[in-house]
Structure formats: structure tokens, C-alpha cells
């Protein structure tokens, strides 16, 4: 473990110093002291946000601690660990009750994703957050090929560069069968990947789909609107794509979205024409949140939406009106 040399780093690391012990000539983590300090809810919840950055070595030590045996929620966001730390978690004998694993903003690559995907040490895992790692297409494929992640209900792979190849692999996987919430923001996903997802027969339980900050165009919107597998969808987030008015028309006319309650179409090149299609939609009557900032719908588009009987349940400001 590295010593902290600057005053600023020492201040940042101060919470972790209580978990350091002197071992011969170096400082080492007293991981059990850190765990005992942060364990909550009768030992079932462990969130290590105030223990410094564990890194690979720290996470591997953590994974070998018997104190994890009752843990159901393990939050290791922003700890700077990569494949070795992920392998340590995958090999742990002390996570039989784990249900939620938050690994947001680390350095896990394809090998780490493969290790997590192949482990049988946490059979009850239902929530997996890998937002902001580096698993790439092959890491997504490893997750898709998993025989042990069949209980997943929540999967966040945002910011991992999985691209169309990674999404195509996921779309073919029964791992998605129980997924209710799927977040795939900032992944370079385009129409080809979305076409594969829309054709997946494993989306029957999907309620939330987030695809913001990708490269989805009107064809992607079309295939999604034609999908027979997403009838339970309640939230759809397509912020910062490029579906345009044509894409909006496909969404507004699709019976696949008759249960939709929240729709985010910010920054998609939508004009007044698209706003009128939304206002006239006979299938979006359950919407209570609609987001259109960053488009060019103008005052006329805003008025059409505000006056729409079909969208009367929308309760937020959908657009910065000029009036």
C-alpha cells in the first residue's frame, strides 16, 4: 500500500488511517477494523465510502474476511481496483448472501467481468452495478455467457464501451430474463445493437431501459417501437441520441409503450413536428414525466403538449417555454 506524501492526500486519506497497522517495515490494511467500522443494518450492509481507496490488494483482503458472511449489500464504488480485485470478489467464500454488488467507477476490464460472471459464490445476486468500468464488448459477452447470474434483476453497464457487439451478445442471453432495470448509457450503442436488443425474447420483465448518450437514430427508435417483448416498460431514457422527428413518430404510434410513465428525449434533434406527434399519441396516455429540453420544439410545440388530452398526466416542465 502506498504512503500518502502530500497534505491534500493525507487529508483525503485520513478516514482510512484508523484501518492501518504497522507490519514490520510497511503499513498494511487492518481490513477487519475497516469492515467493523462500516458494517450497518445488523451486518448486512457494507458501504466503504469513507475508508480511503482500497485498490486491488485491499479488495482482495476484504474478500477473504469472514465478516462478510451476512452481507447482502456490498458497495465498493470508486476504489480504484481492477481485474485482480474483481477476481478476489469472485473467489470469496464469504458472500453467500450477497444480493447487491455496486462496483461503480473502478478499473475492471474484460478479465474482471469474466471472473465475476463465472463465479458461483453469490447465487442470490440480483443487483449488479458496473457503471464506469472498462469491460468492453468482450466483458459484456462474458456476462452474457454466465451460467450463474440468472437471478439478476438490475444491471448497469453504463460507461463501459460495450458498443453494438457487446449489446448483441447480451440480447441473446437468458441472463436478461429476470432483468427489470437495464442501464446502458454512454456505450457507443447504435441502431444495430438496439435492433438486436429489441428482438430479444428475454425482455418480458423489463420495466426501465436507459440508453442515454449513445448513437441511436430513427431506425433504432423504429425497431424498438416494433418490439413485441417490452410491453412492461415504464421508463425509457434516450437522452442525447439522434432519433429526430421520424424516430419520435415511431415511438408515439407504438403500442409497446402503452404502459410508459416516463420518457426522456432530451437533445435528440426533435422539432415542432415531433412535439405534435407526441401530443397526438393515443398510446402515451400514462406518461407523467416527459423531458424534451435541448430540442427545437418551440412555443408551438410546448403549447401542443400542454393542451394535449393524451398527455394530461404529465406533471413536469417538459421544455423551457419562451412565454
- Model confidence band, residue 27 (pLDDT cutoffs 50, 70, 90): very low
Residue with cell string 448518450 = 213
For 191-230, how does the pLDDT look when each residue is reduced to its tens digit (9 = 90+)? 999 999 999 999 999 999 999 999 999 999 999 999 999 9
Q: Is residue 21 packed enough to be buried (19+ CB in 10 Å), middle (13-18) or exposed (0-12)?
A: exposed
DSSP E strands, 30-159: 39-40, 45-47, 73-75, 100-102, 127-129, 154-156
CA distance linking residue 221 with residue 65, whole number of Å: 47
CA distance linking residue 170 with residue 176, whole number of Å: 7
Q: Give all domains of the chain, ordered by start, each with its CATH number.
A: 1-188 (3.80.10.10), 194-323 (3.80.10.10)
For 29-71, how does the pLDDT look when each residue is reduced to its tens digit (9 = 90+)? 689 999 999 999 999 999 997 667 899 999 999 999 999 999 9
Q: What per-residue confidence (pLDDT) applies to 52?
A: 74
* pLDDT tops 80 at residue 281: yes
CA distance linking residue 172 with residue 169, whole number of Å: 6
State the chain's mean pLDDT as an integer: 92
For the segment 80-93, the average pLDDT, to the nearest whole number, is: 98
- DSSP letter, residue 121: S
Here the cell at position 200 is: 430479444
Q: What per-residue confidence (pLDDT) applies to 74?
A: 99
The fraction of the chain above a pLDDT of 90, given in percent, is 87
Q: What per-residue confidence (pLDDT) applies to 49?
A: 78
Q: What are phi and psi of 37, to 5 degrees?
A: -70, -35
Here the cell at position 273 is: 413536428
For the segment 128-147, the average pLDDT, to the nearest whole number, is: 99
Predicted TM-score (pTM) of this structure: 0.91
* pLDDT tops 70 at residue 6: no
* pLDDT tops 60 at residue 11: no
* pLDDT tops 80 at residue 16: no
CB 189 within 8 A of CB 161: no
Q: What per-residue confidence (pLDDT) applies to 249?
A: 99
CA distance linking residue 210 with residue 6, whole number of Å: 40
Q: What per-residue confidence (pLDDT) applies to 1?
A: 37
23-27, 152-156, 200-204: segment of lowest average pLDDT: 23-27
Which tops the pLDDT comparison, 319 or 256?
256
According to DSSP, the residues that pair with 210 across neighbouring strands are 183, 237
CA distance linking residue 183 with residue 66, whole number of Å: 32
* pLDDT tops 80 at residue 235: yes
Amino acid at each position: 500500500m502506498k504512503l500518502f506524501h502530500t497534505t491534500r492526500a493525507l487529508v483525503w486519506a485520513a478516514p482510512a488511517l484508523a484501518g492501518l497497522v504497522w507490519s514490520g517495515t510497511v503499513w498494511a490494511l487492518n481490513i477487519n477494523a475497516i469492515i467493523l467500522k462500516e458494517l450497518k443494518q445488523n451486518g448486512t450492509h457494507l458501504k466503504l465510502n469513507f475508508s480511503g481507496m482500497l485498490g486491488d490488494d485491499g479488495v482482495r483482503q476484504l474478500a477473504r474476511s469472514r465478516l462478510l458472511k451476512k452481507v447482502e449489500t456490498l458497495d465498493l464504488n470508486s476504489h480504484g481496483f481492477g481485474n485482480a480485485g474483481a477476481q478476489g470478489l469472485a473467489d470469496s467464500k464469504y458472500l453467500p448472501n450477497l444480493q447487491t454488488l455496486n462496483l461503480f467507477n473502478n478499473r475492471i476490464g474484460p478479465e474482471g467481468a469474466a471472473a465475476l460472471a463465472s463465479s458461483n459464490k453469490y447465487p442470490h445476486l440480483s443487483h449488479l452495478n458496473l457503471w464506469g468500468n472498462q469491460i468492453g464488448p468482450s466483458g459484456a459477452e462474458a456476462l452474457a455467457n454466465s451460467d450463474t447470474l440468472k437471478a439478476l434483476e438490475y444491471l448497469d453497464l453504463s460507461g463501459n464501451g460495450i458498443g453494438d457487439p457487446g449489446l448483441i451478445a447480451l440480447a441473446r442471453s437468458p441472463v436478461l430474463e429476470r432483468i427489470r432495470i437495464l442501464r446502458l448509457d454512454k456505450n457507443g450503442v447504435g441502431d444495430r445493437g438496439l435492433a438486436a436488443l429489441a428482438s430479444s425474447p428475454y425482455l418480458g420483465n423489463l420495466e426501465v431501459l436507459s440508453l442515454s448518450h449513445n448513437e441511436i437514430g430513427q431506425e433504432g427508435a423504429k425497431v424498438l417501437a416494433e418490439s413485441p417483448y417490452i410491453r412492461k416498460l415504464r421508463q425509457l431514457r434516450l437522452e442525447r441520441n439522434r432519433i429526430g422527428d421520424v424516430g419520435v413518430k415511431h415511438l408515439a404510434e407504438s403500442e409497446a409503450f402503452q404502459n410508459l410513465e416516463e420518457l426522456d428525449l432530451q437533445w435528440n434533434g426533435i422539432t415542432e413536428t415531433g412535439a405534435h406527434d407526441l401530443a397526438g399519441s393515443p398510446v402515451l396516455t400514462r406518461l407523467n414525466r416527459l423531458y424534451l429540453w435541448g430540442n427545437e420544439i418551440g412555443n408551438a410545440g410546448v403549447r401542443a403538449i400542454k393542451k394535449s388530452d393524451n398527455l394530461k398526466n404529465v406533471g413536469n416542465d417538459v421544455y423551457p417555454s419562451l412565454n
